[in-house]
A and B are shown apart, each in its own frame.
Chain A
Amino acid sequence: MLRLNGLWKLTWIELKVFLREPLGAIGTIVIPVLVYLGAGRAVGRRLSPNSLVNSSFMRSGLPVLASIVIAFSAVLSLITIISIYREGGILKRLRATPLRPQTILTAHVIVKLMLTAATLTLMVLLGKRYYPVDVHVPLFSFTIALLISTLSIVAIGFLIASIVPTARFAQPIGAVLLYPMIAVSGLFVPLESLPPLLRGIARVLPLTYAVPLLQGIWNGDAWSAHLADVVALTAAFVFYTALSAKVFRWE
């Protein structure tokens, strides 16, 4: 009970603190939504209903790519915040209270998930005009799938947050480590056509399982068809969380 009280207070304060930052809300929510709508306007006019829109990439690839990029930016911002907090001694100060370390990190993850959810909800609601999304897309299931995927990316984020030396390097190092994962995730190039080394790397990255899960759920697959992906993502989450708990530095 007490710990939940601390978690709730900390989450609420972290959310307020983030939104007070200049560009805090604008950068995370407004700009992605505007870009999305702008692209919709520009592309939407030129597309006839049965051209590109119906290509498989537009049907499920693009929404999946967009979701992953948004999840990545949330994780990158998480890495940056953690390294700033570490550098400033804020993490250490919080740790010198009865707060459990995992409570501190959970509060940050919840804040990022809330902001990501807000961004995606706005995109879906405001973008309806430009992106004639198939009404049969199971948005609720997709949200759950995205949540599972994001959590496993967050776990890698913590691992990266453990190794970045200073806050200045957090964003670039994070980006350099995260974005190439998209290339070997199977989203653009099928896994089978990758060289063996890359295929090996891809196999231990959560994105490789997140992509088929997200695409499948978007296209209306049943959860039972993606049980293996969910298991792999959960395993990745557990593995990377345990690993980062081992190497995480508080100061």
Chain B
Amino acid sequence: MRPVIQVLKIRKSYGRTVAVDEVSFEVHEGEIFGLIGPNGAGKTTTMECIEGLRRPDQGTIAVLDLDPMRDVYKLQNRIGVQLQQAQLQKRIKVWEAVDLWASLYQQKGIDGEHLLAQLGLSDKRHAWFMNLSGGQKQRLFIALALINDPEVVFLDELTTGLDPQSRRAIWELVRGIRDRGKTVFLTTHLMEEAERLCDRVAIIEHGRIIDIDTPESLVNRHCPERTVVLDTENPFAEERFRMIPGVGAVARCGSQFTISGRDDDLVTEIIHCLSENQIRVTDFRTILPNLEDVFIKLTGHTIRE
């Protein structure tokens, strides 16, 4: 199966600043692929090269077997795009925007009214763009990106600036897009978003891709450490914990123990040890590393710095 998006060694600089440097990756049909990294890492530039809005200085890109530069109009018929910080005419009505967009594509897309209903915008159909809330604007942009029933949907910093509730609602929408068989390519600097939404992610920094995989595999590969925090008054506990196979460190703070190790079976082994030695615990929780930890590990700083 050919990948839906194929990016090979693209490079793009603005003056002396190299925004994207030798970036290569593939996106498969039916997956949600996330390009994650801090602001200014080259996410948007990469995405806009793939959409045919920018010409890379070097390298090749194929989207649905089309060249985004040469076949830009053919391509734009088959993809849906949501741009970062885009605006519409202040006084365009919601239904007018949907109607206009529907008229721009060759194929008959999705029914606009149905789409607005799905996105919870039906009662706003006569509202002016300028009077919509941030979440409503974002949902309208998703509607415009979906109106032509595209095969690939591009979403750039989809939920930036939204409250957690709207954010979750939009994640549901994006999963719905994938569940209908579409491919989704998105960028985000929110690790939680990438972790919850993406099937695979590429971590990008300073215009270079550092690693690509499923969020789970990235965590396993770069942050294999498991940590268990538990509370017990048992005086022999510490000694027993140290004997558990795979344990790296045991730290104690009053009655609270923090046990960490690299073994996948660490949690099982600890539970086993607790039950075998009849150690009573009043609290027990596991701390699993996440993408945020992977990012810190790989770049030496948090994504916001």
Residues 44-95 (chain A) with a chain B CB within 8 angstroms: 85, 88-90, 92-93, 95
- Cβ distance B157 to chain A, nearest Cβ, rounded Å: 13
Partner of B89, one of A9, A17, A96: A17
Name the contact of A90 in the complex, choosing from B73, B76, B88, B99 (C-beta under 8 A): B88
- Looking at the assembled complex, report how far the CB atom of A183 sits from the nearest CB atom of chain B, in whole angstroms: 36
Q: Hey, which chain A residues are within 8 Å of B73, CB to CB?
A: 98, 100
Given contacts A17-B89, A90-B86, contact A98 B100 (CB under 8 A): no
Bound-state CA distance A171–B88 (Å) is 21
Whether B25 sits at the interface, judged by CB under 8 Å, is: no
Min CB distance A106 to B, Å, is: 14
Q: Knowing A9-B103, A97-B104 touch, does A14 contact B89 (C-beta < 8 A)?
A: yes
Bound complex: CA A9 to CA B103 (Å): 8
B104 touching A16 by the CB < 8 A rule?
no
A93–B88 CB distance below 8 A: yes
Partner of A93, one of B83, B103, B128: B83
| Contacting residues, chain A, for B99 (C-beta < 8 A) | 9
CB-based contact B83/A89 at 8 Å: yes
The answer on a CB contact under 8 Å between A92 and B92 is no
Given A88-B87, A96-B81, A97-B76: A5 in contact with B53 (beta carbons within 8 A): no
A96 contacts B92, CB within 8 Å? no
State whether A93 and B91 are in contact (beta carbons under 8 Å apart), knowing that A5-B103, A9-B103, A98-B104 are contacts in the complex.
no
- Total CB contacts across the A-B interface at under 8 A: 58
B73-98 vs A, CB cutoff 8 Å, 1 = contact: the mask equals 10011000101011111111000100
Interface residue count on the B side (C-beta < 8 Å): 24
Within 8 A of B (CB), among A1-29: 2, 5-6, 9-10, 13-14, 16-17, 20-21
- Selected from A20, A92, A93, A96, the residue in CB contact (under 8 A) with B76 is A96
Min C-beta distance of B91 to chain A, whole Å: 4
Measured between beta carbons, the chain B residues less than 8 angstroms from A98 are 73, 76-77, 104-106
Asked if A114 CB lies within 8 Å of chain B CBs, one says no
Q: Given A16-B96, A96-B83, A98-B76, A90–B104 Cβ distance below 8 Å?
A: no
Q: Does B241 contact A (CB under 8 A)?
A: no
Contacts of A93 in B (CB 8 A): 83, 86-88
Known: A14-B89, A97-B76. 15 other contacts (CB 8 A): A2-B106, A6-B103, A89-B85, A89-B87, A90-B86, A90-B87, A93-B83, A93-B86, A93-B88, A96-B53, A96-B83, A97-B104, A98-B73, A98-B104, A100-B73
Question: Chain B: residues with CB nearer than 8 A to chain A?
Answer: 51, 53, 73, 76-77, 81, 83, 85-92, 96, 99-101, 103-106, 128
26 contacts between A and B (CB under 8 A): A6-B100, A6-B103, A9-B99, A9-B100, A10-B100, A13-B89, A13-B96, A17-B92, A20-B91, A20-B128, A88-B87, A89-B85, A89-B86, A90-B87, A90-B88, A90-B89, A92-B53, A92-B83, A96-B51, A96-B53, A96-B76, A97-B76, A97-B101, A98-B104, A98-B105, A100-B73
Q: Which 9 A-B pairs rank lowest in CB-CB distance, beginning with the nearest? A: A88-B87, A20-B91, A93-B86, A96-B81, A89-B86, A9-B103, A17-B89, A98-B76, A97-B104
